[in-house]
Every structure is written in C-alpha cells, then in structure tokens.
Amino acid sequence: MRDGEIGTIIGENAFIRSHSVIYAGNVIGSNFQTGHGAMIREDNTIGDNVSIGTSSVVEHHCRIGDKVRIHSQAFICEYSTLEEGCWIGPGAVLSNTLHPLCPKAKECLKGPKIEKGAKIGANATVLPDLTIGENSLVGAGAVVVKDVSKNSVVAGSPAAAIKDIHSLKCRYSLMDKPYADF
C-alpha cells in the first residue's frame, strides 16, 4: 500500500448484492452478505457470518461481532458496538448524538452497545450511549431512553420493562419458550 491508501479486507464466501457500497478501511470476516443497496462506511470491524440487509446503513467506526443480523433499512450510527448473535430488526435506528448541531457534538459521539444475543424490534430507536443487555428484547417501535437489563423485554415510548425474556411463550405452539436456549 502506498501512503494515503486504506486497505479493505473481506473474508471468504462473501455475497455482496447489487448497488451495495463498502468504503475502504473495513475488516470483514467470512460468509458476509449484504442485501441490495447496503452502505458500509469506513473503519468498521465486522465478524464472520454477518448479514446486512437491503438499504441498511452502517456508519464508520462500528464493531460488529460474529453472527449478527441487521435487517433491511436499519441505521447503525458511528461508534456502535453489536456483539455476537444480536439481531437488529427492519427500520431500527441506533443513534449517537445527544445534542445535534451543538458545536461540540462530534467530540461526544457515542453509539449504543447491543450485547450478545440482544434483539431490537422493527422500527425501534435506541438513543446514544446506552447498553441493551445480553439476550434482551426491545419491542417493535420502542424508543429506548435508558439502559436495558440482561434478559429484559422492553416496549413502548419511552420503553419500559414489561417482563423477563424467559417468560415469553410461542404464540404458535411450536415450542414452549422461544428464547430458552440463550
């Protein structure tokens, strides 16, 4: 590499669909795939077996663990951490600035941390610098304004804990507890 060039590494068996854009400076693991028109900015570290859906955006300086699924039209802001096996629903938004347009806003950007196995429902919004605890579930359309404890289910606007994840039942009787294995 010459001065000024940024290397990009993409592991084996990647499947990058049409109109997707991957900026320079990313390190991406094996078995990576995108939907159509996904955009991945620079300086991200992305693990193995990660899927980023159609029209989703992953901004720069994110850390995405193995087996993460980001569905279509999700927005992952700068400095977010998505740990192994977490799931981001369609249209979900992770944010990173407490005071947009503040002259010092860029100095305090902090994306959320989505811990191992946590699930963020469709169209949910997670505010900056929050932790979504391991194996928790954020309901569709929720607006998360404070940290979510491990194994919690939160819903509403603002999101509030409504139960423990182990108390959830499968409404289709396919299994007793849909999250018992986590």
CATH classification at residue 42: 2.160.10.10
3-state secondary structure 24-86: CCCEECCCCEECCCCEECCCCEECCCCEECCCCEECCCCEECCCCEECCCCEECCCCEECCCC
Residue 24: is it exposed, middle or buried by C-beta count within 10 angstroms (0-12/13-18/19+)?
exposed
In a domain, 157, yes or no: yes
In a domain, 86, yes or no: yes
108 torsion bin: left (phi>0), alpha (psi -120 to 50), beta (else): alpha
In a domain, 179, yes or no: no
| Polymer length of the chain | 182
In a domain, 149, yes or no: yes
Distance CA 75, CA 73 (A): 7
**Tally of CA atoms within 13 A in the half-sphere of 179 that contains its CB:** 19
pLDDT tens for 13-25 read: 999 999 999 999 9
Lowest pLDDT segment from 3-7, 87-91, 108-112, 169-173: 3-7
Q: Alpha carbon 134 to chain centroid distance?
A: 13
Distance CA 98, CA 109 (A): 8
In a domain, 4, yes or no: no
Other residues' Cβ atoms within 10 Å of the Cβ of residue 148 = 26
- According to the model, what pLDDT value does residue 101 have? 81
- According to the model, what pLDDT value does residue 3 have? 60
Q: Is the pLDDT of residue 170 over 90?
A: no
* Owning domain of residue 121: 9-167
In a domain, 46, yes or no: yes
Confidence (pTM)? 0.92
pLDDT tens for 43-85 read: 999 999 999 999 999 999 999 999 999 999 999 999 999 999 9
In a domain, 173, yes or no: no
pLDDT tens for 89-103 read: 999 999 999 888 888
pLDDT tens for 141-167 read: 999 999 999 999 999 999 999 888 888
Based on the structure, what is the number of domains in the chain? 1
In a domain, 181, yes or no: no
